[in-house]
């Protein structure tokens, strides 16, 4: 499974993204898969949900340009709130949860 972190307004071509990530094909996660692997519902997907992936089945892919920002905003596992985290702390958090990180700017058309 992939958890792709990209700007909210970025138009992503799933075919190009699959090729970039080395995947056969990509689709949006079903509500059941999101709940099982990330502990979140559709609309509340966030890189912070990596903490719930105890089996290590999710790889996080981040649009590299996001990491140049000092501060990033994400849902904190629910979609009625937002929390801020520095890009450096996000990377440290993901590494601390044991997640491989893939960074690329080749996620869009």
Per-residue pLDDT tens digits of the chain, which is 109 residues long:
999 999 989 988 889 899 988 888 898 999 999 999 999 999 999 999 999 999 999 999 998 889 999 999 999 999 999 999 999 999 999 999 998 777 766 554 4
CATH number of the domain that 54 lies in? 3.90.960.10
- Measured CA to CA, the distance from residue 1 to residue 14 in angstroms comes to 14
Q: Are 22 and 3 in contact (CB under 8 A)?
A: no
pLDDT digits (tens, 9 = 90+) for 56-76: 999 999 988 899 999 999 999
Written as six digits, the tokens of 87 are 């890009």
The residue range of the domain holding 37 is: 2-104
Domain assignment present for residue 109? The answer is no
Residue whose token pair is 């689709």: 27
Q: Are 61 and 108 in contact (CB under 8 A)?
A: no
Domain assignment present for residue 29? The answer is yes
């Amino acid at each position: 499974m992939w958890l792709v972190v990209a700007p909210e307004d970025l138009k992503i071509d799933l075919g190009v993204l699959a090729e970039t990530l080395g995947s056969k094909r990509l689709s949006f996660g079903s509500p059941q898969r999101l709940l099982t692997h990330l502990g979140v519902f559709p609309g509340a997907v966030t890189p912070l949900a990596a903490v719930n992936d105890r089996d290590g089945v999710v790889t996080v892919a981040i649009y590299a340009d996001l990491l140049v920002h000092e501060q990033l905003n994400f849902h904190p596992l629910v979609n009625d709130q937002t929390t801020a985290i520095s890009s450096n702390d996000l990377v440290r958090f993901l590494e601390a949860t044991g997640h491989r990180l893939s960074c690329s700017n080749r996620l869009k058309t």
